Every structure is written in C-alpha cells, then in structure tokens.
Structure 1
Amino acid sequence: MAHESFEDAGVAKLMNEGFVSVKVDREERPDVDAVYMTATQAMTGQGGWPMTVFAAPDGTPFFCGTYFPKANFTNLLRSVTDAWRDQREAVMRQGAAVVEAIGGAQALGGASSPLTADLLDAAAAKLATDYDSESGGFGGAPKFPPQMNLLFLLRHYQRTGNAQALEIVRHTCEAMARGGIYDQLAGGFARYSVDARWIVPHFEKMLYDNGLLVRVYTHLWRLTGDPLARRIADETARFIIRDLGTPEGGFASSLDADTDGVEGLTYAWTPGQLTEALGPEDGPYAADVFEVTAAGTFEKGTSVLRLARDMDDANPPVVDRWSDVRARLLAARDQRPQPARDDKVVAAWNGLAITGLVDHYFATGGAESLEAAVRAATLLADRHVVDGRLRRVSRDGVVGDPPGVLEDYGAVAEAFCAVHQATLDGRWLDLAGTLLDAALAHFPTGNGGYYDTADDAERLITRPADPTDNATPSGLSTLAAALTTYTALRGEPRYREAAEAALGTVAPIVGQHPRFSGYAAATGEALLSGPYEVVIATTADPTGDPLVATAYELAPPGAVVLVGPPDAPGVPLLADRPLLDGAPTAYVCRGFVCDRPTTAVADLTAQLARR
C-alpha cells in the first residue's frame, strides 16, 4: 500500500482532503497497534498488516481492514467520506459498538490459580501433539521458529527428564539450522519459512528472533553437547554483534527482507553463480552441499542455500573444505547489493538479545558476547532509562518519546539481571530493581496480572492487556521472568510472590494453549525448580575451575549462577559466603533454603541433581 497508494498523488489528494492520515510504526507504538488490531479482528474476523483503520477524531474506530488494492482503496476513501458526511450518527453507533466489543475482548480474567507441575506437564504433552514429527516445529505453513516453546521444553526436560521434550527441541533445531530459514553463510535466522519444511524464508531477520534463538541453541548444546547446536549458537551470536550492532552500542531492529525492492536478491543462488564464484571444482561441490539445483527452490530458477548433510561431525578435511567454501561464497555475496537495516533500537528486543548473549558467554566463555551485551546494556541504561522510567526506542543514540510498555520493562530488567551475574557490578541489579518497582507500581491490573501500558501513558480507547506470546514474549511473561531472577539475586520474597501471581493469571492458557504461552511456561519451570541460586565463592581465576564448570553445566531451569569473591560489593548473593579452608566453595540454595557449602565437585553435583 505504501507504493501503490500512499505514494500516488491522486490517492494522496483524496486522503488529505477528507482525513487526517496517521501512519503508525507498530514497533514504536505496540500499544496503538494492539488496540486497533483487536478492533480489526472484531470487525473482520481476521487481522494482519498492513492494517487500515478509519476512526473518529477521538480515536473510535468505525471501519477496519487490512490490505486494499489501489482501486478498492480509492473507492473506500470516497465511501467513507460520504458516510461521515451523510450518516455520521450511524457511523458513530458502529464505532461505539466496536469499542464495546474490543473492551470485552480485552476484559481481564478472574482470580489467580497456581501454575502447577501438572499444568506444565500438560503443556508439554499438548505441544507434543502439535509437533511436526517430519519437519520439526509446530503446525504448517507459514512456519515460525518456536523459540519460546523450545526454551520451555528444554527447561521441562531438565526438571522431568522427558526425553520426548528434548527430542522435539533437538529435531526442530536441527531442521531449522539446516534449512533455508537459517543463513548458511553469515548466520542468523530469518523471520519465518513460507513453507512447512523451512526451505524458503521470508528473508527479513529480526533481532528478537535471533536473541531468543541464541539462548535456545546455547542451552541445547549445554545439555547435549551437540556440535551443530554449538556452531549455530556461536554464529547467531556473531550475526547479532556484527550485522545488527550499532555504533552507539545497541542492536538494530532488523535487516529488510528485500534488496532494491526484490526479496531474496542478496541470498539466492543458481548452480552457475556458484561455479562463477568458486570455480569448476568447488561450484558443483557447493551446489551438492547446499542443495542448489537447476530447477531451483525459490524464484526464477534460484535456490535458497540449505545444508544437505551433517557437516559438524565430519572429518577435518571435509570441514575445512566446507568452511573455505562458505567463506568464499560469503565474500562473493558481500559484493551483491545488500538489504537495508532498520537502525531503530527497541528496548525490549535489545533486552532479549542481551540475555541471550550473556547466556552464550556463560556456556562458552565467549568474551565477545559479554562485551557486546554490556555495551548494549549501557546504552539502555544511559539513554533509555529516563527518571527511573523506560523509553521504548532510540536511534543514533537519541532516545524517542514513546514510553516503554510492559515488555520493555520485563525484558530490560531481565537483561540487567543477566549482566549483573556476569560482571558482579551492583549497578545492574539496582537498575533492574528500579525498573521492576516501576512496573509493579504503574502496570498492575489488580488481580495479579498486568496491563501492557502504564497508568500514566497516553489514554487510548481501551487499555491493552494481552498475556499471550506472539512474535515476542508477552509483557506479562517477561516481567514474571525478570521478577523470578531478581528475587533470587536480591533475596526479597515479594518479587517472587508477584511473579507467581502474574503466572497464575495465565495458568489456564499455559495448560490449554502452550504455543501462545511458552515464555510463561519456561518461567514457571524456573519457579517450580526453585529457582536455584548457585554461588561459587572464589578469589582465584575461575577459568578451568571444576566447581564453576559443574555449576554452569548442571544449573537447573532458570537458575541464577554467580562466581566471585566473598562479600563483593553490590552483590547480595556473595554476602557472608566465605571460602572453606581457603578453597573455592559452592553454595546452593533453592527458594531461600540452602544446602551445606561444599568444596567438592561430587557434592555440588548431588545438590544440583535434587530437583
């Protein structure tokens, strides 16, 4: 519509004569998008983007739709203009009915009920019935990476030993990593696959997808030692840092799907192009390895690169040749026109990426991941936190006006907790507490749940409160996750109680519709397990310390792990945690109840196995 209608002089004339036209960036204003998407769904039975809404001056919507071809849109503009002039009373009655309907759709639930082990077990079982055992993932085309559900299933496996849950994650992660949805040359995942087999992606790459998928592949590698999972975690972390990193230290929102108006132009190949880039020997080899055929898998005889066979367990000469071919192909691809980048820094999405990179650092020791996470956290702290409150977006280091919504507070607070664990800097824990206190003060519904907008935010026709996951975790589930981690780090039960109450409001959704509540379920697993607090008090270099390695390897779902000197300033979990006989000492607590400190790896292993 932007090209067909909004850039057309005739259409623009009609729009400007009869309307005040407002184009909303739904990434900057997810609250506006949520309200009017609910209205569109109420009026049409479906939603999607572009979203077209006609509203009265007070914001009351009276006609909604999605995409309109130019001729249809022109006719619609004339019809709405006539109706507004000649039938305004009827139009306003229709608008009032829509507002009433969406108010009912957003009505908040009743009293909390606990998110129990039985409900989490039921959620895992329901996911198993929805699982695509042939291609991985859930459901059919278009197929989105189910990162929040995968994180939940990994934690569920840790608690229960459910082998099926782990296999669903392993198979899905392998299928995505070998498919066209994964960039086989530069790393990073596209937004979704247009087919059910992960072959052809919608080529847009989003920060939030990759930030969450770093966590999934990192945890899968930590639990299984799968070399494919380790490689994908490493490459995706590098993609975030290299391709989405901004000069100010944050992470850009996305890379566009199209290049020069053509989707896939940068990424698709023919056998001839491979030979041109690699020569007569390696060109056919690459076509075989990456499943590039004369018929093509994409458009106009081109193919999206996929990995035809397992290369991560291959012998060194095979891996060396494959790695060399990848590097040369990427260099050739870099000479092509490249997709544009949306340099907008979104607080919540940066929070998800920061937490993913810190997890990657903890599991692999990759210093680059931690350094990038700290830079991004510093940008959020210095630019996005204003007078103790969050702003949602910035660009070029300049913060925008839109206030943070609930997902911003939850994801950024969780990220600050992660950085605190990695750096032992008390500033990050204090900042997390500031944001969580603001969220608890300005977003609650009164029944344990939370609105998506603050009580002092701009008033819309309704106040959105969607507890379900969509492209990103819901605001409620990110807040519950941050509260859970913070209470373990700070030792204050009231934050845990708030997390339990929030999860209680979505417990029925978790049990019945787990595909839309994976992050809440993952947080529920953490709470059910404790969450554990694992502290290794040491004054020595922790690198290579077997106690530290055991803590990271066996940490239960959602566990907090801290390694540092006793009584380090600003780190509550290290207070009053001395060394025993001068040796590194492990302290394991669960729900504020602690085991005896130990210097023995065997004892620590046994303590972490009790779950």
Structure 2
Amino acid sequence: MNRLASATSPYLLQHADNPVDWWQWGPDALAEARRRDVPILLSIGYAACHWCHVMAHESFEDADVARVMNEHFVNIKVDREERPDIDAVYMTATQAMTGQGGWPMTCFLTPDGKPFHCGTYYPPAPRHGMPSFRQLLGAVTEAWIDRRHELDESAGRIADHIAQQTRPLSVHDVDADTVAKAVSTLRTQTDPQHGGFGGAPKFPPSMVLEFLLRHHERTGAPEALSVVELTADGMARGGLYDQLAGGFSRYSVDGEWVVPHFEKMLYDNALLLRAYAHLARRTGSALAHRITGETAEFLLRDLRTAQGGFAASLDADTDGVEGLTYVWTPEQLVAVLGTEDGAWAARTFGVTEEGTFERGASTLRLPEDPDDPARWMRVSAALLAARGDRPQPPRDDKVIAAWNGLAVTALAEAGMALHRPDWVEAAVAAAAFVLDVHRTEDGLRRSSRDGTVGDAAGVLEDYACLADGLLTLHQATGESVWLVEATTLLDSALRRFAVSDAPGAFHDTASDAEALVHRPSDPTDNASPSGASALASALLTASALVGPEDAARYRAACEQALGRAGALVAQAPRFAGHWLSVAEALLSGPVQVAVVGPDAQARSELLATAATAVHGGGVVLGGPPEADGVPLLADRPLVDGAPAAYVCRGYVCDRPVTTPEALTRSL
C-alpha cells in the first residue's frame, strides 16, 4: 500500500495498492519535489470515470511504468470532486495547452506547482498520433535535465495566462431584453428532432430547462416550453435514462440520447429531478410526473448513505466493463421473461439483434408509452429483479456538501410541488447530516465518508448550494432554524469569497484557503451551477424570506453578481442557465406567497395550491401568523379568522385571498 491508503476519497483508495509511490496533494508533496529537485506528475480524476480506470490498469498498475514514475517524479493523485479548486486551476492550463480538457488529467509541474505540460489520457503504446505514456515520461525527464530553463520559462508564461483567463468579467446589465435574446439563441441551438443542444456527446441541459420553464411561466412564450418538452421527452425516453430503476446517466455519447456514458452522478440527478418536478407541476405531464417520482426514488434507494446524506455517484463500469449491468440482448430478455414477453419487451424497449451498444447488446429505451401498462410494469419488475442478480457498479460513497445541497433543494421542492412529504423528510435528514458533520470551527468542509469529515475546505459552491437547500427547507417546514443556518452560510460566503476590487465577482476558494498557483474564479455554469450563480440564486431567495434590512442587502448583492456575469449570459446562454434562472426570478419579483392559518390542517389547501401554482424562483411558506423567527409571516394576520394567502411580487403585495381559486388566479 502507498500513501493513499489513509485517504478518505474512494477514488484515491482505488490507487492505494498501485506500485506508484503516490502522494496526496499538500505541502509535504511539494516540499519533497523541491528537496529532490524533480518535477511533479499530477494525475486528476474521479471514482466513476471510465478512462481513469483504463489508464490506471494500463499504466499505474504496471511495475515498470511505476518504477520510472517513482525515480523521476513526485507523483500526486487528486480526486477532482474532493478538490475542485486544484482541478479548476490545472484544467484551465490543460485547455490552454491542448484546446480541450477531460479526465484523467495528466499535468507536469515545477516543484512550486506551476504547470509546464498538460494532457489527459495517454495510452500504453503510441496510438492515433499520441505518444505512449512511457514515451511522455521519458521526454519530460529528458527536458527537465537538459532544458530546465525552458520549462521554467514556459511554466511562468502559463501561470500568467491562467491569471489572465480568470479575471473578473466586466459589468453588463441583464434585463428583459437580454433574457429574451437568450431564449432566441437557445431556440436556434436546439436539436429540432431530439432536443438538447449540440451533437455528440450530448449532455442533459438541466439548468437551461429550468430557466426556459421560468421564462414560459413569466411570459407565456410557447417556444420556451416547446424546447423544454422536446428535450425532457427525448432524455426520458432514451438510453440516458434508466428505464428500469430510474435515474439519469452523465451524458449521451450520441446525439439521440440512445447510448449513455453510464456513470450516474448525484448532481445530474438532483438538477434533473428539480426540472422534471417543475415541468410536471406546470403542465401536468404524466411522463414528467413519472420521471420525477422514479428519479427521487433512485436517489433515496441507490445514493442515500446510512447516515442520511447522499453519495457522489455510481460508477460507469462494472467489473471493468462499461454498462455491463444495464444492457440487454434479445436472448437475455427471453431467458428472463419467456418467448412471448421477451419479444414484446424487445419491441417495447428497442432491443435489436444488431444492438445499439457494444457486442450486440442494447440500451433500454421507451420510444412511446406501452399500450399495455400492466404488462409493462410486470415485465419491468421482472427485468429489474434479474438485473439485480448481475454484478453492480461500485458506488463512490463520499458525501459532497454542494451536491447534497442540490439534492436537498430538489427533494424538498419536488416534495412540496407533488405532495410527497417523505421526500421533504429525506431532504431534512440530508441537510441535518451535512450541517452536523461538515461544519467545523474553520468553516464548511467539502466532503465526508462514513460520517467522518475530510480535510478539504469547502469552496463557494458548497456554501451556496447548501444555503439554497436550507432556504428551501425553511419554506417546506416553516422552521426558523433553516433560515438561520442558511443566512449564516451566505454571510460567510459574502465575507470570505468576494473579489475585493471587483464588486459582484467571487473567487471559488475562501480568503483563508490554501494558496495555489492561482485563486480560481469561474462563473460558468457547466454540469452543475457555478459557485457564483448558486450564491446569486441563494441570495435572491433569502431576500424574499428575511426581514427588510437584510432583504435589501441580499438583493443588492444578487444584482451585483448577475451584472458581473452579464457578458456570459448574453454571449453564451447555454453555459449560463442558472444565471438566467436568477434573472427570471428577479424579473418576476420574485414572487412571495405567505400562507397563514392557525394549524397545518387549516393551511393545507392554500399551501398546496401555492406550491403547485407559484412561479419558478418564487417562495412559498406557511405557518401561524407572527410565527417566531419567520419574517415572511410577520404582519400577516388571518382574514376574518380564516386562513389567508398573501401574494407579493418585488416586495409589493396584493390583497390577501382566502380560497384556492382566488390564489390560483392571483398566481
């Protein structure tokens, strides 16, 4: 066992028995490189990454390769999910040098951490113009010995380039016209046949869908809803979605949602759960309602940990083979179901003799609803049971604060909208676990495993996404504790992550965090919200829930942040979906609905109506009048002794209503 044996990251533990003398990132590893005067070989990946596994088997488990690595380098292994700050710095360098990025990421650094050569996967033998990993090791070693000054100069230039690339954006107002143009741009970029954006590979655009739903709610624009429905239908009916057990894979390798990259990530499923729940709430779509329920149950069944948090992911591979658990041949269907049901299942799920995946196997799709729902349910249950007897993909069971915040938000919002209190209870348990375990004297920590918190400091997205989840719980439960905890996190984030000379801009690491080659600051929404957009969203929600003085402060900070991201919103709306949702909520008010009644039973009908009809980004909260620690209910009495709902937009309120019909009209 090498130094990774003591790690808390499942990804690092996967490499603990490599012959490579791996170090974890830290001052000791950098000091060792300086002492030996050798370069650092930095390898970054994550547990569910297929090509990370491939490179590990081909190179890091090879004793001869390891001997070269150990002799000429200090080798550092990093879990990108545990240390997104390190990943961000060196991904910027990799993209600058190669024009692309991905994992595994392979970077060569000077002993002070400056990169001079970066790439991704390297094969064990030369392939398609790529050198073998051993050739690369030899070339870097030779250059270090013979042309050291060139490498040092190159590393300095790259470090300067990273600093330039990550400067705060200039301020650009985001108004209704900006938002409308973003909708138009997204419409032209939509795949008109299959939904989604771009070609292969195609990623689930969860945050863009949420924005387009909000835009449709505010404006009634049919083109916004049509993009959402087309994309949501294509993803849910394709191989991207697990037709037997629920949950979405990371992305589709094709443009038609047929063949996924089979890893299942918590953040994807949390964000998609939220989007489908809001689509179901807004349109009444039976498909969206079903996908919402199945995805929520996937989170609770397959990703919830014994302590109540949610695990990071399920692996893409099973026993080293991608998709082994999930794909089927016609013969396998017949073996489980018999001849008649097997043939029917093949037609229903698009399983062909040729196969849609590899080795004649097919992913399961559901191009249209079966004409015999009872048979479909029976067949699906039998196939899921049989699949359970197959080897299963490993689970990365570390708990990440930010992603759990996303799950808390999604489960609580879906639970309120679709009247599932058990989902809200699961969200409460997850939030309580993260607060109990991840919060320390020096701030929020990024990850934990088996109830033990790790050493990595929380980054901006951890503070912001968790705060957003806690604000949702404040609405779902009416309990003041969640508002107190959320605003504590927000105040800490505003104090510790702000860029001092660029109001509205935020670093991704705290002011007292470990100093890297550069302090990362990326406002772009990618697979999950950027830390800055998540913070802006939480600030706006908080502004609708707190008292007047703090409301003005939080709203101003949100508006400043949105303005700082305005150029990104205007130029690249596909990568600003969460920012655009913030803009829509601002344009809508945001909507506030306070429901007062003497007890839960008296409030229930109005509260259920509000949760179903409120615009995206709005807040809904119920409780007794003047409930202690709940500012939204202050100065909102019963009406003639009866429960009442107060609807406000932009902090300007309508007259209270007392019937569900009147509340629906008001919303």
Q: Would the TM-score normalized by the shorter structure come out above 0.5?
A: yes
RMSD: 1.3
Match of 1:512 in 2: 571
Match of 1:127 in 2: 186
1:58 aligns with 2:132: no
Alignment of 1:385-404 (within 5 A): 385-387=439-441, 389-404=443-458
Q: Gapped runs of 5+ residues in structure 1?
A: none
Q: Counterparts of 1:386 and 1:468 in 2: how far apart (Å)?
A: 29
Q: Counterparts of 2:253 and 2:379 in 1: how far apart (Å)?
A: 27
Match of 2:17 in 1: none
Q: Which amino acid aligns with 2:519?
A: R
Q: Secondary structure at the match of 2:413?
A: helix
Tell me which of 170, 178, 182 is aligned to 2:229. Answer: 170
Match of 2:531 in 1: 475
Q: Counterparts of 2:300 and 2:660 in 1: how far apart (Å)?
A: 35
Q: Gapped runs of 5+ residues in structure 2?
A: 1-54, 126-131
Q: CA deviation at 1:544?
A: 8.7
Tell me which of 510, 527, 532 is aligned to 2:591. Answer: 532
Match of 1:105 in 2: 165
More displaced, 139-148 or 538-547?
538-547
Q: Counterparts of 2:353 and 2:381 in 1: how far apart (Å)?
A: 23
Q: CA deviation at 1:5?
A: 1.0
Match of 2:474 in 1: 420
Q: Which amino acid aligns with 1:396?
A: D
Q: Counterparts of 2:259 and 2:104 in 1: how far apart (Å)?
A: 22
Residue deviations 1:507-529 (CA, integer Å, cap 9, x gap): 12112210000001011101111
Match of 1:226 in 2: 285
1:74 aligns with 2:131: no
Match of 1:43 in 2: 97
Q: Is this contact kept in 1: 2:419–2:608, CA < 8 A?
A: no
Alignment of 1:145-156 (within 5 A): 145-156=204-215
Match of 1:435 in 2: 489
Q: CA deviation at 1:79?
A: 2.1
Q: Which amino acid aligns with 2:615?
A: P
Q: Secondary structure at the match of 1:48?
A: coil
Q: Secondary structure at the match of 1:479?
A: helix
Match of 2:247 in 1: 188
Q: Counterparts of 1:233 and 1:106 in 2: how far apart (Å)?
A: 37
Number of positions where the alignment pairs a residue of Structure 1 with one of Structure 2? 602
Q: Secondary structure at the match of 2:410?
A: helix
Q: Is this contact kept in 2: 1:207–1:254, CA < 8 A?
A: yes
Q: Which amino acid aligns with 2:179?
A: L
Q: Counterparts of 1:91 and 1:283 in 2: how far apart (Å)?
A: 62
Q: Counterparts of 1:466 and 1:543 in 2: how far apart (Å)?
A: 47
Match of 2:405 in 1: 351
Match of 1:243 in 2: 302
Alignment of 1:245-324 (within 5 A): 245-311=304-370, 318-324=372-378
More displaced, 265-274 or 574-583?
574-583
Q: CA deviation at 1:194?
A: 0.6
Match of 2:625 in 1: 566
Q: Secondary structure at the match of 2:389?
A: coil
More displaced, 245-254 or 46-55?
46-55
Q: CA deviation at 1:548?
A: 2.4
Tell me which of 54, 61, 66 is aligned to 1:7. Answer: 61
Q: Counterparts of 1:284 and 1:23 in 2: how far apart (Å)?
A: 48
Percent identical pairs in the alignment equals 58
Q: Counterparts of 2:602 and 2:117 in 1: how far apart (Å)?
A: 62
Q: CA deviation at 1:90?
A: 1.6
Match of 2:15 in 1: none
Q: Secondary structure at the match of 1:344?
A: strand
Q: Is this contact kept in 2: 1:542–1:563, CA < 8 A?
A: no
Q: Counterparts of 1:601 and 1:51 in 2: how far apart (Å)?
A: 55
Q: Which amino acid aligns with 1:136?
A: G
The verdict on how the C-alpha distance between 1:543 and 1:175 changes in structure 2, with shifts beyond 3 A counting, is farther
Q: Which amino acid aligns with 1:586?
A: A
Q: CA deviation at 1:51?
A: 1.1
Residue deviations 1:258-288 (CA, integer Å, cap 9, x gap): 1100111111111111111112221111111
Match of 2:464 in 1: 410
Match of 1:456 in 2: 512
Q: Is this contact kept in 1: 2:418–2:612, CA < 8 A?
A: no
Q: CA deviation at 1:46?
A: 1.9
Match of 1:209 in 2: 268
Q: Which amino acid aligns with 1:73?
A: F
Residue deviations 1:10-37 (CA, integer Å, cap 9, x gap): 1111111111100111000111011011
Q: Counterparts of 2:535 and 2:480 in 1: how far apart (Å)?
A: 20
Match of 2:128 in 1: none
Q: Which amino acid aligns with 1:89?
A: H
Q: Is this contact kept in 2: 1:214–1:356, CA < 8 A?
A: yes
The verdict on how the C-alpha distance between 1:387 and 1:589 changes in structure 2, with shifts beyond 3 A counting, is farther
Higher relative contact order (CA 8 A, sep 6+): 1
Q: Counterparts of 2:240 and 2:602 in 1: how far apart (Å)?
A: 36
Q: CA deviation at 1:605?
A: 3.2
Alignment of 1:573-592 (within 5 A): 573-592=632-651
Residue deviations 1:480-532 (CA, integer Å, cap 9, x gap): 01001111111321001101100111112112210000001011101111111
Structure 1-normalised TM-score? 0.96
Q: Secondary structure at the match of 1:568?
A: coil
Q: Is this contact kept in 2: 1:190–1:206, CA < 8 A?
A: yes
Q: CA deviation at 1:364?
A: 1.1
Q: Is this contact kept in 1: 2:603–2:623, CA < 8 A?
A: no
Q: Counterparts of 1:547 and 1:428 in 2: how far apart (Å)?
A: 22
Match of 1:114 in 2: 173
Q: CA deviation at 1:567?
A: 1.9
Q: Is this contact kept in 2: 1:388–1:434, CA < 8 A?
A: no
Tell me which of 503, 506, 510 is aligned to 1:447. Answer: 503
Q: Counterparts of 2:138 and 2:397 in 1: how far apart (Å)?
A: 37
Q: Which amino acid aligns with 1:94?
A: S
Residue deviations 1:571-591 (CA, integer Å, cap 9, x gap): 111222221112110111222
Q: Is this contact kept in 2: 1:185–1:326, CA < 8 A?
A: yes
Q: Is this contact kept in 2: 1:424–1:570, CA < 8 A?
A: no
Q: Counterparts of 2:661 and 2:266 in 1: how far apart (Å)?
A: 40
Q: Counterparts of 1:401 and 1:549 in 2: how far apart (Å)?
A: 42
Q: Is this contact kept in 2: 1:248–1:379, CA < 8 A?
A: yes
Structure 2-normalised TM-score? 0.89
